[in-house]
Structure 1
């Protein structure tokens, strides 16, 4: 190979090495025979912008990455536009607004006005009217409490009238948070004394009573078609109501006497507090601890027996002599359950102020009682519940171990008193009794405790304890003179 061919070969190689730089740039590129650029050659800055390492793609600057975005839906665009428009029209939090209530001005910031919101009477008014002054014909004294509430302070009513007025205005202005706060407590005027009590307290005696029913609806929905309902006034004894409240709080009520028990029972029934009524009715509870098969007993006044609480009769064998003639009766004992736990108890009833007839013949002595209309009606209800097909037995039986007191003297039995002339009785010929040669006398039955049994398909009372007066003379001895 001669020198000319070798030179042509080198020139061809040099041209091939510079072909990759064949760009349409308007700048001179001086090369040597070997194809290497000279030091004074200028290279554009973006010459290598498309020459990258694949390992460095993730580290490339954001400006060098081509981004693709999904189109925003039209509904979302409208929502974003509305939010931006709302922000642009929202007044500044510290903007001051004047509310004139009953001629008295109150100045509040926009932040305070919307604190019980997001929407209420004030917010909607100022947004709509584009003004900073409002005139309202309401009570300025009540509105002072509302202003304190809007500013974030805790408020508390002083009485039932103020609390009801605050509830009215909270409803009028659409302040739902204030309404909820006011409805947590009940302001109740009982006999002229105001009580502030939580609503949850009255739910401890069941969900259906005087307070959780129509009263709650009336107080918590004060606006009616006839106007605003007044605060509730209950014309009952406030001292008795204190006892009831203490019971609902979990305390034991001290029943001072029979009159206190009756008054407490009346108000418990008036307020439809069933559990409290049941406790008062079953306040005297005993346990029959003698004999096999004995069970718990409950003593109620006859008029206080709740027929719905009676249980199916239970057959027991109890020795109940018919006075002079001792005889064992197969009895069906009436059972009674308490409202709270439903435990069965043997039912005992207390009767009082009755006229009791003594009928005697040659071999038999029996007692008959005369009841008023209310007691007879209650006995018939008990008979219907117990499915006593023959109704009520007007003969009263005497238990073998009955404790008998006549004219303040404890006696062994009615027969013993008759045989030994220990009681003042005026005997007369009985014309209604079917016994031969029957004579009748009367006793005043002051009070008696009797078991309730089903005997021969009749509801029958069996006396366990009785106190009686034998004559008018003994009755007059018990009369007391007026003091002074």
Structure 2
């Protein structure tokens, strides 16, 4: 006999014995109750039967039935216990109150995210949608009627199945990698909720870098010549040369992936445009001070913040703690329009806005 049959007894499982034309199910405990025996020897070996837990025996099934009845080796599998869900009971209590018709009090962002995970686990689509939406807004200044009702989401929370593009007035279409893409700007990305209400989609993005590029525009009207010799004049830029401001977002890998998923779901190119539009109405803030777009474009006033690289290009890098963007599609690509931005020009300024923990929230780890 195998040493395993004497010293090793598996704690769980069932074995199948096919004797003649009859099948018997034996529990592990019953099989090893009279060990060592032929069955424990086979099932404890390296034979194929040990892997499949099934043995075929050319013997009389009636006699074998008497043997297992007398042994008693035959076992009836016990009734399966009810499934145990490894989920948080306190979160389930909140969800149960929602199902009973009560409102859920969201304690903080962590609580909301945990509720969101469990509502998705239980396939509660209505609750999931309510937890996803941060804010519903009516924009009384919007020119486009379809954009008056707006909905604000965190980028990571956007449900791809609910977004679509506003109506395109241009019938011309292009094909790109099998996707149908309008040839010209087709408007904003929209969101339709479970009840069918349509809203313009706004996106909240946290913790990213924004880079302002300043380019001096040279033109014949702003250039002057300075003689450097009898025949060679030198062209110099006039101090009034206009400055072109380009604003670019340095998105995280996670945010970029989400935007690509959004682009794919609306049949747009997955090549996301990181240069963003900054309209005059954008609420811009640097180091706690509200800054107009004209002020952001004034390189003289911002000279203490602007850096110059080896090629002489000027740029201003800001750390954006919070921003609100509007998504649109232009020439088949997803672009972004900056509506609100809270940023810092230095780590010192960022540290100055940090908040201490309240005394009643401190814990020992």
Q: TM-score, normalised by structure 2?
A: 0.59
Q: Are positions 1:346 and 2:197 aligned together? A: no
Partner of 1:361: 215
1:423–1:470 Cα contact (<8 Å) kept: no
Q: Are positions 1:304 and 2:157 aligned together? A: yes
Change (3 A) 1:234 1:330: same
Partner of 2:343: 468
Give me the CA root mean square deviation. 2.7
Residues 376-399 of structure 1 show CA distances to partners (whole Å, capped at 9, x for unaligned) of: 111111112222237210112223
CA distance in 2, matches of 1:405, 1:250: 41
Bigger CA radius of gyration: 1
Change (3 A) 1:416 1:354: closer
**Secondary structure, in 3 states, of the residue corresponding to 2:278?**
strand
Superposition pairs for residues 437-452 of structure 1, below 5 Å?
438-452=313-327
Unaligned runs of 5+ in 2: 1-75, 170-183, 217-242
**Secondary structure, in 3 states, of the residue corresponding to 2:282?**
strand
* Over 4 Å off, 4+ runs: 480-484
CA distance in 1, matches of 2:310, 2:345: 18
**Secondary structure, in 3 states, of the residue corresponding to 1:377?**
helix
The number of residues matched between the two structures is 242
CA distance in 1, matches of 2:268, 2:215: 29
Offset of 1:443 from its aligned partner? 0.7
Partner of 1:286: 137
Offset of 1:467 from its aligned partner? 0.8
**In structure 1, which of residues 395, 403, 419 is the aligned counterpart of residue 283 of structure 2?**
403
CA distance in 1, matches of 2:302, 2:93: 49
CA distance in 1, matches of 2:189, 2:94: 32
Change (3 A) 1:403 1:392: same
Change (3 A) 1:269 1:429: same
Partner of 1:230: 81
2:205–2:324 Cα contact (<8 Å) kept: yes
Residues 301-320 of structure 1 show CA distances to partners (whole Å, capped at 9, x for unaligned) of: 1111111111233359xxxx
Q: Are positions 1:276 and 2:139 aligned together? A: no
CA distance in 2, matches of 1:461, 1:255: 30
Say which structure is richer in strand: 2
**In structure 1, which of residues 408, 413, 436 is the aligned counterpart of residue 293 of structure 2?**
413
Offset of 1:430 from its aligned partner? 7.0
Change (3 A) 1:426 1:235: farther
**Secondary structure, in 3 states, of the residue corresponding to 2:93?**
helix
Offset of 1:415 from its aligned partner? 4.0
Offset of 1:337 from its aligned partner? 0.9
Change (3 A) 1:239 1:473: same
**In structure 2, which of residues 307, 320, 324 is the aligned counterpart of residue 427 of structure 1?**
307
Residues 211-242 of structure 1 show CA distances to partners (whole Å, capped at 9, x for unaligned) of: xxxxxxxxxxxxxx964333443333333222
Superposition pairs for residues 55-454 of structure 1, below 5 Å?
227-295=78-146, 296-315=149-168, 332-338=187-193, 340-362=194-216, 363-389=243-269, 391-413=271-293, 415-416=295-296, 418-419=298-299, 421=301, 425-429=305-309, 438-454=313-329
Say which structure is richer in helix: 1
Offset of 1:265 from its aligned partner? 1.6
